[in-house]
Structure 1
Amino acid sequence: MKNFIFFVLTLFFAACTTSGESESELNGQLKNTLTKAELQDKIKGGWAGQVIGCTFGGPTEFRYNGTMINDYQPIPWDENRCLWYYKNSPGLYDDVYMDLTFVDVFEKEGLDAPAASHALAFAHADYRLWHANQAARYNILNGIMPPESGYWQNNPHADDIDFQIEADFAGLMAPGMVNTASEICDKVGHIMNYGDGWYGGVYVAGMYSLAFVSNDVNYIVTEALKAIPEESQFYQCIHDVIQWHNEYPNDWKQTWFEVERKWSADIGCPDGVFRNFNIDAKINAAYIIIGLLYGEGDYSKTLEISTRCGQDSDCNPASAGGILGTMLGYSEIPEFWKRGVYPVESMDFKYTTMSLNDVYEIGLKHALQVISENGGKVEGENITLAVQEIQAVALEVGFENHFPVERNGIGERLTKDNSEFEVEFTGNGFVLTGSAQKQNEHEDLNLELEMSIDGGESESFLMPTGFAKRRHEVAWKYQLPEGKHVVKISLKNPVDGYAVNVNDLLVYSSVKIENTWKTN
């Protein structure tokens, strides 16, 4: 009888240990030891994987909005693809050179470099920015420092993808230490984002961190989500994707349709509300996860799927490719893909003095420092990681009780001859889109504007004509009392040859409009 019981128990434990790495990992048996060579290989895989994914998705970026890229649509790849972009369109790699800004600050000032140092380096860099990044740059240049620079009332793009595509460095610095990666994200990510926009970066960094200690994509995707508050919409969106993958394990397109049905309505980004353009962090993170889950650890399949989900189709495979590249290691990225980075590894990214070869080395240095300072051990060539029990970050909710109800063309042009206008709306918030303009031969100028709401105290602000310093929207205000409001905008220093174009009025209300067909 004893022999029979022993035999049954042996079979039971054998089944537990062979049913997949995910099962053992869920019981705490993560790989927490690496050699320096293995750590270096994973860091290289993360950085190179990000470049590969970004390059592969470059030709389709925002060309397929609200639709997937069909299988018959070819997406080119060859050994010269990265080199072409490095030489001809280096702005594609904003995913990478933005990361490198923060890596460089850590390198120059140490791991305790304050948020202000990162913010100032980012704001004064030569590269062009858009969306949450540009709104944050404007804020910083005008005295609004982090975390206020990324806060949703100061930054209409707070839920956008920006930090999500720039958070790779935080996970690559913190192998197995998701909470430490979240702390780094708190310092840097609130420069430009808040709430769901910030959670995108926390989640991506968490997946990178876990990719050092697990070879199970499902585990990495699911476990990293513990860093996100369950009450947040970001958590709910990614949780849905995981559940739909369980329901439709062999059909990524069905999951894509489910994501589109439930999560495709962007309420924050003024460029995407009432339009099919969607740079919201949630839905683009969903596309990363669709690529990772349905890619099943296959590098080619992962890049193909995450790209073919559309929208920000260079950033999403960059994240998926970097996370998977970390899990596999540089040495295990298929040669078909890796050969594309060989010609550029020694070339500095534009706007930086850093190449892939440089960041491979600096990345290892920073990771070893973070390991040593957070309970891990570095003993010669052997490393022991202090794998952390994941804690959720604080709950942040942007645009709460703000529902888009109207988008109306304004078509106003503030000039020397027409220096003010008024607009009325009914709701609890608004955004006026537009930009400052100059005639070609003129020098850049800071146009001075004032805004008053309902005849109240005026608020002054600048609208630079220079692209790098521009204000992303003309004006906005949230959390107004629900009701009728009058907004007056005045140009205080009108000059011939300069103007402020006011394009659209986006109106929010605390009352969500329900379509009548839903109740009929």
Structure 2
Amino acid sequence: MKNLVISLVFAILAACSPKQISETNPANSTEFKITLTKSELQDKIKGGWAGQVIGCSFGGPTEFKFNGSMINDYQSIPWNENSCLWYYRNAPGLYDDVYMDLTFVDVFEKEGLDAPATSHAYAFAHAEYSLWHANQAARYNILNGIMPPESGHWLNNPHSEDIDFQIEADFAGLMAPGMVNTASEICDKVGHIMNYGDGWYGGVYMAAMYSVAFVSNNVEQIVTEALNVIPVESDFYKCMADVISWYHQYPNDWKRTWFEVEKKWSADIGCPDGVFTDFNIDAKINAAYVLIGLLYGDGDYSKTLEISTRCGQDSDCNPASAGGILGTMLGYSNIPEYWKKPLSAVEDMDFKYTTMSLNDVYVIGNKHALKMLEANGADIDGATISVPAQEILPVPLEIGFKHHYPVVRKDIRQNLNFENQEVKIEFTGCGFALTGWAKSTIGDADIKLEISIDGADAEQFVMPTLFSKRRHELAWKYELPEGKHKINIKVLNPNPGVAIDVGDLIVYSSTKNEITWHRHD
């Protein structure tokens, strides 16, 4: 208990100004529970898994329809008893938040709690479902021999700071009730498959909030306590601390906090799809939306889902995380019937690409949590579980895209094909990402290419036309010396039936592009 109180105080000190600290009541630490009954554990695990599905289903209709814009109050978001069933039957890909988690749950079920990262990586890479962003970049890496943690590293994965692991880390917290450091160890194993730095921290933080939600009944306490797991030097920590600070400044105005987040944190620098566009799948800003929903929702399930969804962007994932964390705190039995009713039609249905239903994972998740508690020294006496106290330790500092600032997005729009087998591009900076995609009229094919930069030794790679095996970007290279560079890409196996559309060039400089305002008289 002492360690938990100490780590809570440190988290509040780090996140609040002196005035705010005096206005925050650390005595709330008495709400931490160091014991759970087995029935409470099961109820909370059910609440966590069910909450994800509820949140995902609620946010589905607005996903990426409001980019850089909140969803205004007059925009209704439908919810009825068929909301979950419709998506299960007609658009099951919406639940990638859940069936991705279940890939890793299944590995633990088959191989035990010590299953290595390679097992998770192979299961993930060879799954039938489609992937995007950091996940697909990691899948391509693994299928081409780049294993974790290198598969998620920013030098090998331009999407390393995207939201991917953040929406897939729920299982790690649900496996480690009240044991944040244990959840972090699981995240280290799985999260570095696809993410690095702030992208990885998104998953670590979500898992930590789930973990704390087992032993605290105070949302603000969950948010601040869990943040202790993130290095204070990271941008991810700074963004979350800002949200907490703005919540204290504007406790009755979530929209003001949303605007402050947009002003300071909305510039994506990594994801090639988000740089210089209104699309933003960066882990920081989407985690900020989860926090806004949790803090301003203040334990009310409806308010939490409404606010986290209305923050926009990836508006199914954010309420899925918020709804799952709050569902863990409240327990399944305390989620309002209005939100649970649509689940009854789907709880026995397997998620697409899996052999698991919600009812299955309620049982399996409870089993894994009990095993993890036993492995970490929990005292299980009949129906009572004494949760081992852990002083929360920050995970190691990781900084991606250090000294890389986007300065140009240029439309290249060329084709690499049978007639035009080479493309040459020049830029000035210290790095680049080049979008592009392979296509075929003759069935699945692998287009072999060669890239050289500034005449250096060429590197060969493959662009599969099969969507599930595709290379998410045509090419990228970071940490080049600042200056002029020449990119040369050649097709090594030209075929009239295949081609590559070359898209946009994103250029990075080691010097930030500062805006200077001039007065014109």
TM-score by length of 2: 0.94
- 2:119 match: 117
Equivalent position to 1:247, from 246, 249, 254: 249
Aligned-pair CA distance for 1:24: 3.2
The aligned residue for residue 137 of structure 1 is: 139
Output the amino acid matched with 1:306. S
Question: In 1, distance between residues paired with 2:377 and 2:138?
Answer: 34
After superposition, where does 1:177-192 map in structure 2 within 5 Å? 177-192=179-194
The C-alpha deviation readout for 1:202-236, integer Å capped at 9, x for no partner, is 00000000000000000000110000000000000
Q: What CA deviation, in whole Å up to 9, does each residue of 1:268-288 have, x standing for no partner? A: 000000000000000000000
The answer to whether the Cα contact below 8 Å between 1:105 and 1:113 also exists between their aligned partners in 2 is yes
Task: Specify the alignment match of 2:202 in structure 1.
Answer: 200
After TM superposition, give the deviation of residue 25 of structure 1 in Å.
4.5
Instruction: Show the counterpart of 1:72.
Output: 74
Q: 1:128 aligns with which of 130, 141, 160?
A: 130
Aligned to 1:341, the other structure's residue is in SS state helix
Runs of 5+ in structure 1 lacking a partner?
Answer: 1-18
Instruction: Look up the SS of the partner of 2:278 in the other structure.
Output: coil
Are 2:519 and 1:484 equivalent residues in the alignment? no
Letter in 2 for 1:402: H
Q: Do the aligned residues in 1 keep the contact of 2:32 with 2:217 (CA within 8 Å)? A: no
**Whole-Å Cα distance in 1 between the matches of residues 451 and 162 of structure 2?**
25
Q: Give the equivalent residue in structure 2 for 1:3.
A: none
Q: Counterpart of 1:47?
A: 49
Distance, in Å, in 2 between the alignment partners of 1:301 and 1:517 is 41
Question: Superposed, which structure 2 residues align to 1:34-433 within 5 Å?
Answer: 34-433=36-435
1:30 is displaced (CA, Å) by: 1.8
Does the CA-based 8 Å contact 1:377-1:384 persist in structure 2? yes
Residue aligning to 2:468: 468
Residue of structure 1 in register with 2:15 after alignment: none
Where does residue 33 of structure 2 map in the other structure? Answer: 31
Say which SS state the counterpart of residue 70 (structure 1) adopts. Answer: coil
Deviations 1:104-152 (A, max 9, x none): 0000000000000000000000000000000000000000000000000
Q: Write the deviation string for residues 5-30 of structure 1: whole angstroms up to 9, x where unpaired.
A: xxxxxxxxxxxxxx99963354x762
Establish whether residue 453 from structure 1 lines up as the match of residue 453 from structure 2.
yes
8 Å Cα contact 2:436/2:503 also seen in 1: yes
- Supply the distance in 1 between the matched residues of 2:334 and 2:31 (Cα, whole angstroms): 23
Structure-1 separation of matches of 2:391 and 2:250:
30
**C-alpha separation in 2, matches of 1:381 and 1:358:** 22
Shift of the 135–220 alpha-carbon distance from structure 1 to 2, 3 Å rule, reads same
Asked whether 1:437 is paired with 2:407, we answer: no
Classify the secondary structure of the residue corresponding to 2:342. coil
Indicate if the aligned counterparts of 1:413 and 1:502 stay in contact, CA closer than 8 A.
yes
Partners of 2:338 and 2:419 lie apart in 1 by 61
> Which of the two has higher C-alpha Rg?
1
Show structure 2 runs of 5+ residues with no match.
1-21
Q: 1:219 to 1:241 in 2, by over 3 A?
A: same
In 1, Cα distance between equivalents of 2:478 and 2:277: 21
Q: Deviations over 1:278-337 (max 9, x none)?
A: 000000000000000000000000000000000000000000000000000000000000
Would the alpha carbon gap of residues 20 and 107 (structure 1) be closer, same or farther in structure 2, given more than 3 Å must change? farther
Provide the rounded CA distance (Å) in 2 between the counterparts of 1:120 and 1:89: 26
C-alpha contact (below 8 Å) 2:31/2:216 kept by paired residues: no
Question: Which secondary structure state, in structure 1, belongs to the residue aligned with residue 511 of structure 2?
Answer: coil
Letter in 1 for 2:243: V
Q: Any conservation in 2 of the 1:21–1:215 contact (CA below 8 Å)?
A: no
CA contact (8 A) 2:424 2:486 kept: yes
Report the identity percentage. Answer: 72
- In the TM superposition, what whole-angstrom CA distance separates every residue of 1:154-208 from its partner, at most 9, and x where no partner exists? 0000000000000000000000000000000000000000000000000000000
Q: State the AA in 2 paired with 1:437.
A: K
Task: Tell me, in whole angstroms, the C-alpha distance in 2 between the residues paired with 1:411 and 1:289.
Answer: 39
Q: What secondary structure, in the 3-state scheme, does the structure 2 residue paired with 1:244 have?
A: helix
Q: Which residue of 1 aligns with 2:19?
A: none
Question: SS of 1:227's equivalent?
Answer: coil
Q: Partner amino acid for 1:188?
A: V
Q: Secondary structure at the match of 1:460?
A: strand
Residues 431, 505 of structure 1: 8 Å contact kept:
yes
Change (3 A) 1:47 1:68: same
- Aligned-residue CA RMSD in angstroms? 1.4
Q: Is the 8 A contact 1:175 1:367 kept in 2?
A: yes
Q: Call closer, same or farther: CA 1:29–1:86 in 2, change over 3 Å.
A: closer
Shifted more, 509-518 versus 236-245: the winner is 509-518
Name the SS of the counterpart of 2:251 in structure 1.
coil
- Residues in 1 aligned to 2:154 and 2:24: alpha-carbon distance in whole angstroms: 40
User: Partner letter of residue 470 of structure 1?
Assistant: R
**How far apart, in 2, do the equivalents of 1:176 and 1:20 lie?**
26
Structure 1 residue 380: deviation in Å? 1.9
Is 2:504 the partner of 1:504?
yes
The SS at the match of 1:484 is strand
Q: CA deviation at 1:519?
A: 9.9
Q: In the aligned structure 2, how far is the partner of 1:271 from the partner of 1:112?
A: 36
Normalised by the length of structure 1, the TM-score is 0.95
Alignment match, 2:5: none
CA distance in 2, matches of 1:238, 1:454: 41
- 1:497 maps to a residue whose letter is G
Task: Specify the code of the residue in structure 2 equivalent to 1:289.
Answer: L
Letter in 2 for 1:168: D
CA change 1:265–1:20 in 2 (3 A) is closer
**Structure 1, residues 360-408: CA drift from partner, whole Å, max 9, x if none?**
0000000000000112112221111012110000000000000000000
Secondary structure in 2 matching 1:358: helix
Cα distance in 1 for residues equivalent to 2:364 and 2:316: 25
Are the structure 2 counterparts of residues 305 and 415 from structure 1 closer, same or farther at C-alpha, using a change threshold of 3 Å? Answer: same
* Cα distance between partner residues in 1 of 2:63 and 2:303: 18
